[in-house]
Amino acid sequence: MDKNIIVTPGTIRLGQFLKLAGLVDTGGEAKVRVQSGEVRVNGEVDTRRGRQLVPGDLVEMGGVTVRVTLADEPTG
């Protein structure tokens, strides 16, 4: 795993997470990358930019894997 991205309690949408993680620069880029099948969530391609991520989910794009982590979780 390349890094952890810390989020506040609750969920975050896949497109927002890609921006927060620095994997894309804009929401438009996130939309294109997700819809073209370039993004995997927990090992499976997901084409839903609005997919709700929860702590522990692994998001992969372009050879980079990022884990969704709650602010109070250990980052390992």
Q: Domain residue spans in the chain?
A: 3-70
DSSP H or E run through 26: none
pLDDT in tens, 7-58: 766 778 999 999 999 999 999 999 999 999 999 999 999 999 999 999 899 9
What gap in Å lies between CA 48 and CA 69, rounded to an integer?
20
- Is the CATH number of domain 3-70 3.10.129.10? no
Residue 11 burial (CB < 10 Å; 0-12/13-18/19+)?
middle
- Decide if pLDDT at 73 tops 80: no
Is the distance from CB of 41 to CB of 59 less than 8 angstroms?
yes
